[in-house]
Amino acid sequence: MKAEYDLSIGKRGALDPLPPGKTRITIRLDTDVIDWFRGEVEAVGGGNYQTLINKALREYIQHSQESIEDILRRVVREELQTAVG
């Protein structure tokens, strides 16, 4: 270890720039919820649990905006696929 370091060229802030369309936030979630998402990612061999949370939120938004007719059609299609396939 050096006795002294030159930090004059250092920059403050995040080390990795955020990709376009992404926003860094701090959020508090229940431990069991985080554990479930981490377990799901681990079960498929790895990945990012935050990406899985983002996907779940996006699906919730999409389904909450569906009309009852669209929901019914989707459910019937899924049930038919399960019965046939």
Q: How many domains does the chain have?
A: 1
SS3 41: helix
Identify whether 3 is part of a domain: no
pTM: 0.60
Average pLDDT, the chain: 90
**Residue 75 maps to a domain:** yes
Question: What gap in Å lies between CA 85 and CA 57, rounded to an integer?
Answer: 29
Residue 17 lies in a domain: no
Within a domain: residue 11? no
Residue 9 lies in a domain: no
Domain that holds residue 72: 31-84
d(CA 8, CA 15): 16
Contacts of 14 (CB under 8 A, 6+ apart): 24
* pLDDT surpassing 70 at residue 14: no
For residue range 24-54, list pLDDT tens digits in order.
899 999 999 999 999 999 999 999 999 999 9
